[in-house]
Amino acid sequence: SQYNIAVVVGSLRRDSFNRKLATAIARLAPADFAFEQLQIDDLPHYNQDDDGNQAAPVKRLKAAVSGAQGLLFVTAEYNRSIPGVLKNAIDQASRPYGQSAWKGKPAGILGVSVGAAGTALAQQHLRNILAYLDAPTLGQPEAFIQAKDGLFDGAGNIGEDSKKFLQTWMDSYVAWVRKHNA
Ligand code: FNR
């Protein structure tokens, strides 16, 4: 059987390092894993008044998450937390109350930033949110990545310096997803 992984990138920037990382790391997964980056830039701002009548992009997001066997968050850090667009997507798919799409989905968290702390603070906030939503998150290895020349090669693959570490990360993530779907 195939494992469909819903990938949520926490940055809308055209040349986002996090989007590049999400694309590159998917290539390190085994053949029975399929990664789909979910669109979140067309979601309305979350408004509880809309819980009974969710917009089409919200329904699309919830369907994609519900149909996935695992989640992969690859996020930027904004002001020592997750970007608002990511929080909005999480809030949207968590509602109406009792109908959260995130519940029980095994999740991996990655992030790259230009700062030396490599999204560590954003990732920690994200872990809090996912704990509340009952989405079990892979604890180790942690991956706090700083954007540097050579992080990606010319073909958009993970560069030599980070390849071994990120392969280990992916192997751990794959085992985590398999375990939670056994
Ligand atoms: C940042 N950046 C940033 N970096 C970081 O390491 N810690 C932080 O708290 C912040 N805060 C922050 C706030 C805002 C509003 C912006 C626009 C940027 C820098 C950030 O790491 C950089 O812009 C990355 O390129 C963002 O990731 P993407 O868009 O390349 O995926």
Residue of 21, 12, 177 lying closest to 89 (CA atoms): 12
Q: How far is residue 112's CA from residue 148's CA, in Å, rounded to a whole number? A: 10
Q: How far is the CA of 83 from the centre of ligand 1 (A)?
A: 9
ipTM of the complex: 0.99
**pLDDT greater than 90 at residue 1:** no
Structure pTM?
0.98
pLDDT band of 4, cuts 50, 70, 90: very high
Domains of the chain, first to last: 3-180 (3.40.50.360)
Q: Is 115 near ligand 1, meaning CB less than 6 Å away? A: yes
What is the Å distance from ligand 1's center to 121 Cα?
12
Dist CA 5 CA 132 (whole Å)? 21
Match 């798919």 to its residue by tokens.
Answer: 93
Question: For the segment 120-145, what is each residue's pLDDT rounded down to a tens digit?
Answer: 999 999 999 999 999 999 999 999 99
Q: What is the pLDDT of residue 30?
A: 98
From CA 178, how far away is CA 69, in angstroms rounded? 9
